[in-house]
Amino acid sequence: MMQRKALPPRSRLYDSEAMLILIDNPERRAELISRVRARIDCEIEEVSEALCEGRPATRALRLLETLTKILAELEVQK
């Protein structure tokens, strides 16, 4: 029987040291910025669709706000 590795506690998943390594690598930073921008585009589309259909877009708006803040931080640190 194959044993699964236990995931670290959530706070360890976002270890600041690991994030610094990821962000300090220019290729990884560019990839991360690109992925965040793509996700922002998806959330903008989701918000637009929800508003056109008269549905609430609270979750998408919160996610969009968070992603925009993350992108701003990544771009400032370039």
Residue-level pLDDT at 49: 94
Residue-level pLDDT at 12: 47
78 or 32, greater pLDDT: 32
Please state the domain extents for the chain.
Answer: 22-76
The stretches of the chain forming alpha helices (DSSP H) are: 10-13, 16-24, 26-53, 58-76
48 or 75, greater pLDDT: 48
pLDDT band at 11, cuts 50/70/90?
Answer: very low
How confident is the model over 12-20, as a mean pLDDT?
Answer: 53
- Using a 10 angstrom Cβ sphere, with 0-12 exposed, 13-18 middle and 19 or more buried, the burial of residue 21 is exposed
* Residues in CB range of 50: below 8 A, 6 or more apart: 56, 57, 60
pLDDT band at 68, cuts 50/70/90?
Answer: very high
Residue-level pLDDT at 27: 86
